[in-house]
Structure 1
Amino acid sequence: MSGRVQTARENVFTGWRRVFGLIVWAGLSAVVLTGCDSSQSAARPSVSETASAQEMVRLLEASLPQGKTSGQRGEGVSTKPGTLPSAELVFQRGGRSAHVQVMLGRIPVPLPAEVSQCPDTAVHPYSRCTITTLPDGATLVQDQSPHQEKNPSGGKVLTARLIFDDGRQILVSQVADPQAKADSAVTALPLTLKQLTAVATSSTWEPVLNTVPTPPAGGSGGWQPTGKEISLVLEQLLPAGISHAQPGGTEGFGHLVVDDGHGKSLVAVNVQRWKPSDDGMAKLFAKGETLPDGTRLSIRKNPANRGDKGTIEWTVDTFRKDGIRIVVSALNAPAYALAPTRPDPALDIAELKKIALDPAWQRVTRR
């Protein structure tokens, strides 16, 4: 993280998408191909030793049900860092149109926990997601989320992710064609989630996966606490008489929805580790308070970044001498994309400060 100050809010929004990097509608350095009718792809294409962009597109077309395709483009297997074999096209069927994309890759092992997690409900409250372990041990994550969080009744993004224990992964996604007219085509997609999953789990991709270079081994996991660990500590530190529910999070981030009888409020904790001498942290806390034990402290009351209109966020940000940063925030809404349910967050600054400075956090940061 050196050289880049990433606040708790920024860390939340990069969460589950960070692992896949190019998850949905990445700008492909693509080869553009001519359109065709996928119903003509009767024979299953063979895969050369190193799949090309054209082969990726043909494989995707062969995996789809009958329909018309256009706007094909793809990326072949490459040793260039950040380049993943992929294909995308516009698929039309039954008067409905959508962009469909497949992306293949390998993740260093051990796998980050968020690889096989659903989108975090603190940021994606309208996500409808399931996780299934298949007979061969692979993990299947199926999700349906709004294309725009602030318009949950509008167009949807459907994704099917298949993750193998050795780091191989397949991501297939579908989103309404942005060129389609503003009618039922925006909300009605040509492929069901079941059909999209059939593309992701097709044996068609196995030869390509076998040609994707194996990345260097990942670290041993390190110190970063899980969302569950953070949420458990947060539960214990809540003021008496306040109810809580919906624990969640990902590595380094945990949250609860609390209710004091006057409306639901999201309370979130972000745990980070920095170099004690990091210049970014020095600038961030330059105007903050320094406590007797050397901990830096900053307090903010701002409109919630990416929150609904009227959503506010109160934050107590702390940076310890050992480089551990504990950020505790509360909203006047149950999630970042939801409308406010109350005038102010359920916890005040004094209560947030008490949580952030509690010694209990040492249990999840001493590793």
Structure 2
Amino acid sequence: MSEPDTFEDDLLYAMSRTGEAFRSERAGLAAGGLDLGRRRWRRRSAAAVVSGAAALALVGTGAFYLSGATGGSPVAAPAEAAAAPATSGAGTAPLTTTPAATAAATKAAAPAAPVTDKEMLAAFQALLPKGEVTEAKGEGTEKSTTPYAQLVFDDGQGKSLMSVSVQRFYKGQEQQRTCPTDLRLANLDSCSVTTLPDGSTLMLSQGYEYPDHRATTKEWWATVSRPDGGQVSFNEWNAAQEKGAPDSRPNPPITLEQAKAIVTDKVWDRAVAAVRYNGIDPAVEDPGVTPDEKQAILAGLLPAGFAVQSRTTHLVTDMYQLTGPDGAKGSISVRLANWSRPFDDPQTQQSMDRGRASQLKDATVLPDGTKVVVNEPGSGSNPKFPYTRAAELHPDGTYIEVDATEGKDLLTLDQLKAIAASPKWQVRK
């Protein structure tokens, strides 16, 4: 593995570990190559599909509405929806956009009327072309931060498992979407990322279920990330199950252009407005210190002969690649956060409080109230943690954590403690 690859691996590990204790449900602070909704849906799919469910016809033109306001247009009953012929999404009445759907995603808005399990499923079905639907299942906004609908669709050319899911993220929470340079290495036939006129980012991709191609099952997906923090994802396979089923057709039935129409349809506006934010608001922990300022502070605290070679930043965590006086190389992560401000969502606050308490349970309390935690590999509250760490929580809410990652012996534990203990680490907001 090359040094840049090792550095990036360490960064992803450090950021994932840093956010491990601070998640509300499954939301992470660092996004991976695949979107969070897709990963969550895949873990849930086997249990969610109902075997032997009765066949359902698709919802008819104009039969389905999800009103954005109390007392708005009626929602067609499931029995009525099942009797109507299928149409494309072009004739589907959109959900009414609520103020929460267009408000800045940095603060939690008053929740819109919830979207039910059946409403999620009916909205999805209304966007599909003509065909038979079986094994249908949905989950609404009251039950999950990733409401979804999934079903097995057959247009007469073979069955296809497909799903749609909705999430909402705070500003700055998502990682920028990019396609890999080497599609073959990424197990993809195609990939594109475009910016839509409304500022949304659309990712379309065609790949395979199994990286080693032990089966030829294909998976195609579309994800749109909206300026309001909403994310709508669509997945489909050329088989009736994600895994363990023979291919039922050469390709999934929905084209990429049709998938784009599904995820960008206005029918999902109210679902985005109603769903709880998935994760924590990065702005709450923002220390008000820029990455450049943090790097300058660190450079002034390093022992003589040490230098910063590169930096990668994600939210309040920075990874620095260092060189020592003898030419040795290594890296450390520095997390500077403000723990004094509360989160808007009580559930998130409770989760954060538990995570922070767990991190600090082995802390030494200094006379001024500062809590100090020092861990060497295999010690402390997380015996599997492989790095040397020094962390301090100050009475004003300043939390500073310094982890030695790659090249663990580059800086000693005492040197890491000295860096973390510096009074120069102070939050500004």
Normalising by structure 1, we get a TM-score of: 0.59
Q: Which amino acid aligns with 1:265?
A: S
What residue in structure 2 maps to residue 56 of structure 1? 123
> Which deviations, in whole Å up to 9, do the C-alpha atoms of 1:69-115 show, x marking residues without a partner?
86443346x6x36466522246899xx998643223556xxx42114
- Tell me, yes or no, if the aligned pair for 2:87 and 2:127 is still in contact at 8 Å: no
Q: Deviations over 1:330-356 (max 9, x none)?
A: 223xxxxxxxxx5x3543323322332
* Bigger mean CA offset, 344-353 vs 280-289: 280-289
Secondary structure class of the residue paired with 1:114:
coil
What is the aligned partner in structure 1 of residue 172 from structure 2? Answer: 113
CA 1:56–1:330 in 2, change beyond 3 Å: closer, same or farther? farther
Counterpart residue number, 1:161:
223
Question: SS of the residue aligned with 2:318?
Answer: strand
Q: Is contact 1:319-1:326 (8 Å) kept?
A: yes
Pairing partner for 1:138 from 186, 200, 225: 200
Q: Percent identity?
A: 21
Contact 2:49 2:151 in 1 (8 A): no
- Closer, same or farther in 2 for the Cα pair 1:54/1:297, shift >3 Å? closer
Indicate yes or no: 2:405 matched with 1:297.
Answer: no
For residue 266 of structure 2, the aligned residue among 206, 215, 221 is 206
Residue in structure 1 matching 2:387, options 292, 313, 316:
313
Residue pair 1:146, 1:152 contacting (<8 A) in 2 also: no
How far apart in 1 are the matches of 2:88 and 2:207? Answer: 34
Highest Rg: 1 or 2? 2
Change in 2 beyond 3 A, CA 1:263/1:133: same
How far apart are the structure 2 equivalents of 1:257 and 1:191?
44
Which residue, 307, 325, 328 being the options, matches 2:399? 325
**CA 1:359–1:31 in 2, change beyond 3 Å: closer, same or farther?**
same
Where structure 2 has 5 or more consecutive residues not aligned to the other structure, the ranges are: 1-15, 59-84, 96-114, 179-185, 343-352
After superposition, what is the alpha-carbon deviation per residue over 1:34-60, rounded to whole angstroms, capped at 9, x for unaligned? 57999x977447358787244234246
Once the two structures are TM-superposed, the CA of residue 358 in structure 1 deviates from its matched residue by 2.7
Aligned to 1:15: 29
> Which residue in the other structure is 1:104 paired with?
166
Question: CA, structure 1 residues 356+254, in 2 after alignment: closer, same or farther (shift >3 Å)?
Answer: same
Q: CA deviation at 1:273?
A: 0.2
Residue 233 of structure 1: how far off its partner (Å):
0.8
Which one-letter code corresponds to 1:112 in the other structure? K
| Coordinate RMSD, CA, aligned | 5.7
SS in 2 for 1:52: helix
Kept in 2: contact 1:227–1:249 (CA 8 A): no
Specify the code of the residue in structure 2 equivalent to 1:56. A
Deviation at 1:21, TM superposition (A): 7.5
Which protein is richer in strand relative to its size?
1
Structure 2 CA distance for partners of 1:61 and 1:215, relative to 1, 3 Å: closer
Describe the SS at the equivalent of 1:207: helix
Would the alpha carbon gap of residues 312 and 348 (structure 1) be closer, same or farther in structure 2, given more than 3 Å must change?
Answer: same
CA-to-aligned-CA distance 1:269-320 (integer Å, 9 cap, x gap): 25240589x798677546443446442211112259xxxxx98211111111
Match of 2:286, SS state, is coil
Structure 1 CA distance, aligned partners of 2:208 and 2:376?
Answer: 29
Question: Which of the residues 253, 271, 275 maps onto 2:337?
Answer: 271
The answer (yes or no) to whether the contact 2:147–2:275 under 8 Å persists in 1 is: no
Contact 2:332–2:402 under 8 Å retained in 1? no
Residue 224, structure 1, aligned to residue 285, structure 2:
yes
Q: Is the 8 A contact 1:316 1:352 kept in 2?
A: yes
Task: Give a deviation string over 1:139-163, Cα, whole Å, max 9, x none.
Answer: 3367899999xx9999999764323
Tell whether the 8 Å contact from 1:127 to 1:145 is kept in structure 2 after alignment: yes
Task: Give the one of 305, 320, 329 matched to 1:256.
Answer: 320
Question: 1:58 aligns to what SS in structure 2?
Answer: helix
Classify the secondary structure of the residue corresponding to 1:55.
helix
